[in-house]
Amino acid sequence: MKNDKKNENLIDLYTSKLIDLLMKGFTHNERSYGFEYEFISRQPLNSKDMQRVYDLLPKCGFLKDGTIFSSELGMYITIEPGGQIEYCSPPLLKDDEQGFHKLIELIKDTNRIIKDTLGIEYIGVGYIPDRADVQLVLDAERYQNLHTRMLTSGTRGKEMMKGTASIHLHARILDMDDMVPLFGRFSELSTSDEFKMSSDRRDIWDNTDPVRCGQLVNDFENIKSPESLIKEIVRFAINADDIGENVPFPMKKDTSFEAFLNQMTTLFTDIRLNMKGPSCELRTLDSQPISVFEQKWKKFINTIENMNERI
């Protein structure tokens, strides 16, 4: 009973703090969009392979800043635990086709140079089997802790980390009143034929970590206000285990708001509140060949721009 009271107090406190933080981020009148596009190598990679990629990326026009490589176009690259390469776009307005195509050409050129120079072929597919026990190429504590947790939590977490690739789609949240309809539309997209996960990746996702995967909110029809939506988001994060201490968040040593914001970045829900922007993030779309992504991108933007229409 005492722990339940503590949990509810934390949920109320962080709901209030999160609303305040979101309000400070609502500075744009026009919605922008973004994507995170992952490619997985055709063959498993190791840390030496990744060092070769790191050394080559500056020759592809990317400047190294810690563990991130950024380009003049505002796109940046990060590396995932299995060696997947992830291209992260800057915010794009709905009609910025020229900006979108420049980013796509940069991705194509970079993947081509990596293949021609290093023999490492990055491909757009959602899942490659038999990667669970390949080497973890990142040594950051965050990923080491997550990998350790996947040994005992769920059954397919190691495959999720090293054998899958996805495309995350973002839409900026304009204001508090925008949140419920936007998250509701994202919920519809996550189960639509064009944007849902493949059956292979769905099974991996559902069996990765039962306390941090799945649907952020199961019934959007009963969410009547942005405050109630944010409270459900906070509740999900509070109930998830910390990946370092492997205890529910309220039981960990540091339960500060800063620690809570970090906890939110470790959730693998189909839809996620991303504080960068802030934006709503759709995580269900499998990675796919670049040649078919443009159609998905246009469909995504049109669907959000016309939220009152049925999908």
d(CA 298, CA 101) in angstroms, rounded, equals 12
Beta carbons within 10 angstroms of residue 128's beta carbon: 21
Burial (Cβ within 10 Å: 0-12, 13-18, ≥19) of residue 3: exposed
Q: Which residue has the tokens 């996620």?
A: 272
Burial (Cβ within 10 Å: 0-12, 13-18, ≥19) of residue 289: exposed
- For residue 242, CA distances in Å to 117, 160, 289, 292 come to 40, 18, 35, 37
What does the angle CA 238 – CA 240 – CA 243 come to, to the nearest 5 degrees? Answer: 115
The whole-number pLDDT of residue 1 equals 45
The whole-number pLDDT of residue 216 equals 82
The whole-number pLDDT of residue 46 equals 95
Global pTM reads 0.95
The residues spanned by each domain of the chain are 33-165+287-303
Question: Could you check whether the bond before residue 44 is cis, i.e. omega within 30 degrees of 0?
Answer: no
**Tokens encoding 101:** 């195509």
Q: What is the pLDDT along the chain (311 residues), one digit of tens a residue?
A: 456 777 899 999 999 999 999 999 997 789 999 999 999 999 999 999 999 999 999 999 999 988 899 999 999 999 999 999 999 999 999 999 999 999 999 999 999 999 999 999 999 999 999 999 999 999 899 999 999 999 889 999 999 999 999 999 999 999 999 999 999 999 999 999 999 999 999 999 999 999 999 888 877 778 889 999 999 999 999 999 999 999 999 999 999 999 999 999 999 999 999 999 899 999 999 999 999 999 999 999 999 999 877 66
Burial (Cβ within 10 Å: 0-12, 13-18, ≥19) of residue 308: exposed
d(CA 132, CA 142) in angstroms, rounded, equals 18
What is the fold, at CATH topology level, of the domain defined by 33-165+287-303? Cell Division Protein Zipa; Chain: A, (3.30.1400)
